[in-house]
Structure 1
Amino acid sequence: MGGRGRGSRSRTQRKHFRDGRENVWKRPKSDGTSSDPNSNSNSENKTHWKPFSTQNSAFDEYYKEQGIVTTEEWDTFIEVLRTPLPAAFRINSSSQFCEDIKSQLENDFMNSLKAETTDGGEVEAIRPLPWYPDNLAWHSNFSRMQLRKNQTLERFHEFLKLENEIGNITRQEAVSMVPPLFLDVCPDHFVLDMCAAPGSKTFQLLEIIYQSTKSGSLPDGMVMANDLDVQRCNLLIHQTKRMCTANLIVTNNEAQHFPGCRADKNGSKASEMEIEPQISQLLFDRVLCDVPCSGDGTLRKAPDMWRKWNPGMGNGLHSLQIQIAMRGLSLLKVGGRMVYSTCSMNPVEDEAVVAEILRKCGGSVELVDVSSELPQLVRRPGVRKWKVRDKDLWLASHRDATKFQRCHILPSMFPSGKSYVAPANKDLEHKNDAIVISEDGIQLTEDTSTEDLIEEISDLPLERCMRIVPHDQNSGAFFIAVLQKLSPLPAIQEKPSKKRSLFKKNPELQEKLSDQVTRDNSGLEPDSRDVAVEKFSEAATEADLIADEPDEADMEPDPSSISNQDDSEETKAVVNGETNSGKAVGKRKLQLQGKWKGVDPVLFFKDESIINSIKMFYGIDESFPLDGHLISRNSDKNHVKRIYYVSKSVKDVLGLNFQVGQQLKIASVGLKMFVSNLHAILALLFSVLLFFSKAAVIAFSPFPLILRPERQTSREGAATPCSFRISSEGLPVILPHITNQILYASPVDFKHLLQYKTIKFADFVDAEFGVKASKLMMGCCVIVMRDSQTMSDPIKVDESTIAIGCWKGRSNLSVMVTAIDCQEMLERLSFRMEAEKGSSVQENKFNVDELKLNGVSKVEESETIQLAADA
């Protein structure tokens, strides 16, 4: 699931992450040593690896009592939970090949996979999910293990891997696709994904805001994806980079303390790099609150969880989930919508959290009835009664908890949410009397016998929540609640904890503790489910230490205190390459992003000479604004290797962040638009050398022959009028606005470029195209494929236009696209050409495997001849 809060970690848990965790998925070596941690390692009789046990008596007892499913369907429920989860994936609706991929699935794979045996006895091998709009999400009845091991499914598996890596599809659990659909996102919305890693839902949100956007333009909205863990942030960045968007900011902040970035109107500007924002506070139209949870809804894909699961895991996460949800509501605009979701079936993590949110917010937040939306999605209403399990005891009400249990069993875990305090009078205690704290703060004394306890039932409309269970539609389990903010949240007057009071008095202590927790996270595993289970299994004992939710005003950090920290002696010492102890930290100085140490800065790129050279070289018209939209991540202005482009909405957020003292810790921002020629060429040559590492060009060419062209190409890069090329990621956005360095190739020549990577001007099939290419200026150029019917230049650029970036050398054109992008584009072109001919896709499919075998040798031959000519 998403990011996790620092406030819920104990020393034991942090030590656990530093020491690392056992890899339970790793099979043993050939010596037959068992991977079962419960087995005796000293035993002489070593056993082989065995499948994970899919039984847990505590799980059965817990959910039978909670009544999540009826007694009659319990056996079916458990039986499905013990089977592997079928694979599912989603087509990227903003991809230019979206319709091609959908057509290939419908006309090719659905027919070719009919004869294959599937799990669960379903007739169709693959099918679109009926509840997902426009047939963009697909369900495969093959498990991931089947796809990897079955040789007859190899072509389908290779298709999924390739398209997923390119970004045309996203492999994602089916129920995980549900929460973003209920957000009702529009292209102009500001969306916050509070606990975003690993990023599949973030990718889905980006697809939605781009869905109705024309090619070459950017939506007015943006998505801010946040996660606390640094390593999971990197996974999030890797996932979302496939989208190639300028409307995304990835942050690395605590979800429950996410900064609101409220500008001080009377304050001075934070730095000279600031761009005047048009917003004064960071508020969102939509918030996705997919909180960390115990994750028992993922048992089908994480069977190791069967042995780990216990009821205390959900109890320990309850307080953190409330804090994150309340923070999300405070960042939500009035009239906005928030979706709270978990991959847990536990009511303590689901309905209990939603009920507490509604109680805290009064009438300012409404639980929305969405039963009429996505009618084909099979879901069940939320429950209004449940119990709390603490070790071996069932608790129907907070009054049942002992004095010691009340340290970690909270009133909000129960349906009524009422607090019961044991009386000080020992005589009353023997009579089982308790003081009841009602919602209006009035103390009521009740004399209730334990034999007459009545199970609590919530008076809130929790049936408007929804729970998806595995056996209803052969999926995982999920919980979703849709909340709408009707008015500003009431100020919650609660006594702050000593811990937070100490932080407010001593901000330096807060900074040091935050840095310590960040360092402790360096050993975290990327698997969200296992991390959540291991991390919070002992958290129940410290639930009372978590601070109560402050009101909206108190939750905003003090901008003045943040800006003052930038000038601290500690920061200056780090900038100079020293620590407080005076020891050097290494040759590379730590980067600074405001108060955040060791993070690349975010700077508006304002070098007019470079910007003007880019405009003139590529003929970028005024309809595409560059000023104020370019970002660099290097504080050394003379060594900027990459320039990123951001949309207007992201630019405004960055300007506000500068104004408030850079409260957001930004891990990634913007779309990589321009890359330094020298850096790009060296990277390309390195990838080419890797590509040829097993080819004949390495075996039969002398080593100096490999090095000589690199020096010559570097000189070519330095001699070009513009020192920056257009990146492949940014090309679709800037393509409609380019008037120079652009050529239109026939499908045959375009296909040859993809296949052979480098072609001499005289070797193009279209001789006129070769002449035009030779007249281009040295450096980066753009090659657009013409339709077979359209032979005139220029052509109209739209969402179906296919283009690649190339390098114009002295005697040839070289493709500056990765090998996997070339392979995928050849696949798409082949499918389109054969679809136009009206022939069978299966019979006349372009032989990509033969292309990879023969293409390598042809590329080697072409490259070897070119290297010899240059030498």
Structure 2
Amino acid sequence: MGGRGRSRTQRRHFKENRENVWKRPKSDPSSENINNNNSSSSNNENSHWQPFATQNPAFDEYYKEQGIVSPEEWDSFMQVLRKPLPAAFRINSSSQFCSDIRSQLENDFMKSLQAEVTDGEAEAIRPLPWYPENLAWHSNFSRMQLRKNQTLERFHEFLKLENEIGNITRQEAVSMVPPLFLDVHSYHFVLDMCAAPGSKTFQLLEIIHRSAKEGSLPDGLVVANDLDVQRCNLLIHQTKRMCTANLIVTNHEAQHFPGCRSNRNCSSSSESTMGFHPSISQLIFDRVLCDVPCSGDGTLRKAPDIWRKWNPGLGNGIHNLQVQIAIRGLSLLKVGGRMVYSTCSMNPVENEAVVAEILRKCGGSLELVDVSCELPQLVRRPGLKKWKVRDKGTWFVSYKDVPKYRRSVIVPSMFPSGRIYVERSENNPDKELGEKHENCGNGNSKDGFQPLGDPVALADDLDEEVCNFPLERCMRIMPHDQNSGAFFIAVFHKLSTLPAMQEKPNTLQVGSESSTKQLNQVIEDTSGVEVISGDGTDEKHSVANLEAGTDEPDEAAVEPHLCITSEVQNSEEAQALDHKEIDVKKAGGKRKKQTQGKWKGVDPVVFFKDEGIVNSIKLFYGIDDAFPLSGHLVTRNNDTNHVKRIYYISKSVKDVLELNFSVGQQLKITSIGLKMFERQSSREGSSAPCAFRISSEGLPLILPYVTKQILYASLVDFKHLLQYKTIKFADFVDSEFGQKATNLMLGCCIIVLSKGSKASLDSTQVDLSTIAIGCWKGRASLSVMVNAIECQELLERLLIHMDAQNGSSVHEEKSHVKGVEVEDINDIERNVDMDAQNGSLMHDEKSLVKGVEVEDRNDIERNEDMESSILATRS
């Protein structure tokens, strides 16, 4: 009864015959009033679902007053905001089928779908003009249209299949913008602070892989972090399609992301005792993507439910957290590095106010970059220089106007000037004082300390505050400019080390005892508020998450190496404090947590050092010594005798992992590296010379270095393998290929599609265009070890090539693939019977192909996780 703790109906309720108060009859008038407020017929007993109301008076009043668009264009702005969001997707630039998919879109779907467009001037699908190389596409059909229109079924199936494989990523168009302004290269260490659901992380991985030298792994890496464990699972599922060894997924509060600084001078440090001598001494990044949680009103077209929930307090409640996350990101950024701050909100309190506060805190050590010349075809608007703050139905133009009892919630950093005003005192009855910021620049490298002047004169002379920073360098993407969602982006360049900072009075400081009352006030004011991730998904963060992490040291205020002295850092007490895990109690019953790792609920990451197993793998597959295995293999199980999966990590990930061990495993790692080898699970597999098979995810990486257990098949035999999954050696069209397969050792083997018309006698050069699959060589047959979706995708690609070569009908070929002829089925059944007579354990082979073993949290291939992840991504 695993779900008994979560059930709201107890056993005793059944015994007491308690009435079910949750269920109302259809004729209940109260139910009708709730579900059908706008119904024209009050006598209708069948209350039907009504569309979300696409209006909110508070929304109109707020944004009209803020002036995010001119009065003349307000109607067109609202008109577009009420329309469904068109579908958009991005082609994986590092995929071997990238050019094929782009060609298919340009030459097939652009023409075939045009007839479905009602507006004769609009294009059915088109590449986004501002995205490089026609790799991102925009559809004039909403997701609902794609699902419901039968004539669009082929295009919809194409999108689903390619997205599942990883050849495309379905992603909101404006969500693709922030990574493009990061200027990422293959050698960069990149941090994605609030990464789930992972579309931007996937985009960053594409960039570092595509810019790397062909045939080699990038020198850089991506660390993708998220606060919520379930969102981390979604992130892992999304990025798993990339098949990369250059990714680490972590589970931390972004504002408290560990600095991981190793003290090499201390002989008693953990790196000496554990035997780790990392090549890097501190985890800092060349690029940081700070796509913070936000109120999410820029996603109204995709999530119309926000209309009824929206209120001005949403942005006020999340403002402080956004500042903290951004400052922490800058403290982890290298001098000379670049950080992009972004939200999917239109609220200046979450956007320009946060940027201005960052510049105030960092002074001349930071520059707000002018990127107006980059991506010239992207229509964007400059940031606002002035705005107001609304609280409890009242507008405030300055912090001095905020009542005392609201100053715990409405803080100075929300206003354009960021000034703090204090009450008149007896010693100074005629003057009102404002705070002089210790670091006040305007975002340029020339700026340093600048006094604010006489705050009384400023307060008296101005009706509303105007920010002195060049916030026009920020960019706002509005929905009616390019038929998209809304987004805000600011680009920072770090010029020097950040100064030591102190929080200003009257601001909410998470973690201090004095903040408890203030924090409760914020949570009370924003109770029921759901904060949407910057990616614009339906996944939510609660403002109550601010309570978590109260015992963590506040490292966000200063650079990592300025946080604590070396004496304190090396003490056991400081390490215990720094490494302390924060247990957040979630609604719902208790679940069993694994405790074998440092972090509860997360399996340990350990280097795989069993030389016997590694040597047997190298010998069986003939892996060339040029492919580094030693020191690059990790697992999630301390017991090497029961390891089921071995993961491969790049050199950069290896360096970070060694550093993490040396500092006491400060990083809570939920996923790392690329699944390379899997232990054989069938009875026949246990008798094979090698206990591990090559996984389909790791095959493209290791393929150029494999010299044994590899065969080159003709197009016909390769296609038949994908179609029928299992073929006896004697039934291959190319008899010579069947004979070669017979001579292979029992176990995993690799079948490569020959580039010629017949199977190659000798090995050919492996490159990006090489197509290969993993198979199981049994006693009498070959069985494909590729899942059905990947088989379908490969067949689609092969059929397109065959159609181009032979002029045959692709649709006829597809029908032949999906509907296997009776004669072929009978042949396959006879083969299965013969295999059973010869002692071939076909059932075990099939289970080897289809059965997915769940070893640890790193491999989230559980059906329920995959289904929920896919639904969340597509919703």
Task: Tell me if the contact between 1:295 and 1:532 (Cα under 8 Å) persists in the aligned partners.
Answer: no
1:55-66 pair list within 5 angstroms: 55-66=55-66
CA-CA distance at 1:348 after TM superposition: 0.7
Amino acid at match of 1:436: G
CA-CA distance at 1:566 after TM superposition: 11
Aligned CA distance change for structure 1 residues 152 and 628 (closer, same or farther; 3 Å):
same
Unmatched runs of 5 consecutive residues or more in structure 2: 1-5, 10-23, 440-450, 515-529, 584-589, 838-875
Aligned CA distance change for structure 1 residues 279 and 328 (closer, same or farther; 3 Å):
same
Give the structure 2 partner of residue 709 of structure 1.
none
Give the structure 2 partner of residue 237 of structure 1.
236
* Counterpart Cα distance in 1 of 2:224 and 2:273: 27
Within the alignment, does 1:834 sit opposite 2:800 as a pair? no
CA-CA distance at 1:638 after TM superposition: 1.2
Give the structure 2 partner of residue 437 of structure 1.
435
* Counterpart Cα distance in 2 of 1:641 and 1:673: 11
* Counterpart Cα distance in 1 of 2:80 and 2:581: 56
Q: Tell me the percent identity.
A: 65
Give the structure 1 partner of residue 476 of structure 2.
467
* Counterpart Cα distance in 1 of 2:827 and 2:534: 44
2:496 to 477, 484, 487: 487
Give the structure 1 partner of residue 196 of structure 2.
197
Give the structure 1 partner of residue 160 of structure 2.
161
Amino acid at match of 2:818: K
* Counterpart Cα distance in 1 of 2:631 and 2:420: 54
Measured against aligned partners, the alpha-carbon deviations of 1:370-395 in whole angstroms (never above 9, x if no partner) come to 00000010101111111111121111
* Counterpart Cα distance in 2 of 1:278 and 1:668: 22
Give the structure 2 partner of residue 13 of structure 1.
none
* Counterpart Cα distance in 2 of 1:569 and 1:499: 16
Task: Tell me if the contact between 1:466 and 1:479 (Cα under 8 Å) persists in the aligned partners.
Answer: yes
2:601 to 592, 598, 607: 598
Measured against aligned partners, the alpha-carbon deviations of 1:698-721 in whole angstroms (never above 9, x if no partner) come to xxxxxxxxxxxxxxxx33211111
Within the alignment, does 1:629 sit opposite 2:625 as a pair? no
Within the alignment, does 1:75 sit opposite 2:75 as a pair? yes
Measured against aligned partners, the alpha-carbon deviations of 1:463-508 in whole angstroms (never above 9, x if no partner) come to 00000000000000000001000111111145899974679xxxxx
Aligned CA distance change for structure 1 residues 853 and 276 (closer, same or farther; 3 Å):
farther
Moved more, 333-342 or 417-426: 417-426
Amino acid at match of 1:550: A
Measured against aligned partners, the alpha-carbon deviations of 1:265-315 in whole angstroms (never above 9, x if no partner) come to 114335876653210000000000000000000000000000000111001
Unmatched runs of 5 consecutive residues or more in structure 1: 1-16, 21-27, 504-522, 575-584, 679-713
Within the alignment, does 1:821 sit opposite 2:790 as a pair? yes
Amino acid at match of 2:695: S
Within the alignment, does 1:737 sit opposite 2:705 as a pair? yes
Give the structure 2 partner of residue 511 of structure 1.
none
2:617 to 604, 614, 619: 614
Aligned CA distance change for structure 1 residues 448 and 336 (closer, same or farther; 3 Å):
closer
Amino acid at match of 1:551: V
Give the structure 1 partner of residue 179 of structure 2.
180
1:461-540 pair list within 5 angstroms: 461-494=470-503, 500=511, 535-536=542-543
Task: Tell me if the contact between 1:673 and 1:730 (Cα under 8 Å) persists in the aligned partners.
Answer: yes
Within the alignment, does 1:456 sit opposite 2:465 as a pair? yes
1:210-289 pair list within 5 angstroms: 210-265=209-264, 266=266, 267-270=268-271, 275-289=276-290
Measured against aligned partners, the alpha-carbon deviations of 1:408-466 in whole angstroms (never above 9, x if no partner) come to 111111111111122345996xx9x6322222498988667999652111111110000
Within the alignment, does 1:291 sit opposite 2:292 as a pair? yes
Aligned CA distance change for structure 1 residues 440 and 730 (closer, same or farther; 3 Å):
closer
- Specify which structure has the bigger relative contact order, considering alpha-carbon pairs within 8 angstroms and separated by 6 or more residues: 1
* Counterpart Cα distance in 2 of 1:274 and 1:47: 69
Measured against aligned partners, the alpha-carbon deviations of 1:127-162 in whole angstroms (never above 9, x if no partner) come to 000100010000000000000000110010000000
1:111-126 pair list within 5 angstroms: 111-117=111-117, 123-126=122-125
Secondary structure in structure 1 of the residue aligned to 2:558: coil
Moved more, 331-340 or 402-411: 402-411
CA-CA distance at 1:551 after TM superposition: 1.9
* Counterpart Cα distance in 2 of 1:98 and 1:800: 10
* Counterpart Cα distance in 1 of 2:533 and 2:318: 19
Task: Tell me if the contact between 2:330 and 2:339 (Cα under 8 Å) persists in the aligned partners.
Answer: yes
Count of residues paired in the alignment = 772
Secondary structure in structure 2 of the residue aligned to 1:183: coil
Measured against aligned partners, the alpha-carbon deviations of 1:62-117 in whole angstroms (never above 9, x if no partner) come to 11111111110000000000000000000001111111111111111111101003
Aligned CA distance change for structure 1 residues 408 and 216 (closer, same or farther; 3 Å):
same
Give the structure 2 partner of residue 516 of structure 1.
none
Give the structure 2 partner of residue 383 of structure 1.
384
Secondary structure in structure 1 of the residue aligned to 2:90: strand
Amino acid at match of 2:795: L
Secondary structure in structure 1 of the residue aligned to 2:154: helix
Aligned CA distance change for structure 1 residues 292 and 568 (closer, same or farther; 3 Å):
closer
* Counterpart Cα distance in 2 of 1:454 and 1:19: 54
Secondary structure in structure 2 of the residue aligned to 1:131: coil
Aligned CA distance change for structure 1 residues 426 and 72 (closer, same or farther; 3 Å):
farther
Task: Tell me if the contact between 2:646 and 2:677 (Cα under 8 Å) persists in the aligned partners.
Answer: yes
Task: Tell me if the contact between 2:290 and 2:325 (Cα under 8 Å) persists in the aligned partners.
Answer: yes
Aligned CA distance change for structure 1 residues 569 and 468 (closer, same or farther; 3 Å):
closer
Task: Tell me if the contact between 1:807 and 1:814 (Cα under 8 Å) persists in the aligned partners.
Answer: yes
Secondary structure in structure 2 of the residue aligned to 1:213: coil
* Counterpart Cα distance in 2 of 1:673 and 1:563: 37
1:398-413 pair list within 5 angstroms: 398-413=399-414
CA-CA distance at 1:854 after TM superposition: 1.8
Task: Tell me if the contact between 2:369 and 2:493 (Cα under 8 Å) persists in the aligned partners.
Answer: yes
Aligned CA distance change for structure 1 residues 191 and 425 (closer, same or farther; 3 Å):
same
Aligned CA distance change for structure 1 residues 347 and 260 (closer, same or farther; 3 Å):
same
Give the structure 1 partner of residue 724 of structure 2.
756
Give the structure 1 partner of residue 752 of structure 2.
784
Measured against aligned partners, the alpha-carbon deviations of 1:566-607 in whole angstroms (never above 9, x if no partner) come to 999999xx9xxxxxxxxxx99x8823332x112100000000
Task: Tell me if the contact between 1:262 and 1:280 (Cα under 8 Å) persists in the aligned partners.
Answer: yes
Give the structure 2 partner of residue 353 of structure 1.
354
Amino acid at match of 1:847: E
1:4-19 pair list within 5 angstroms: none
Amino acid at match of 2:701: V
Within the alignment, does 1:331 sit opposite 2:336 as a pair? no
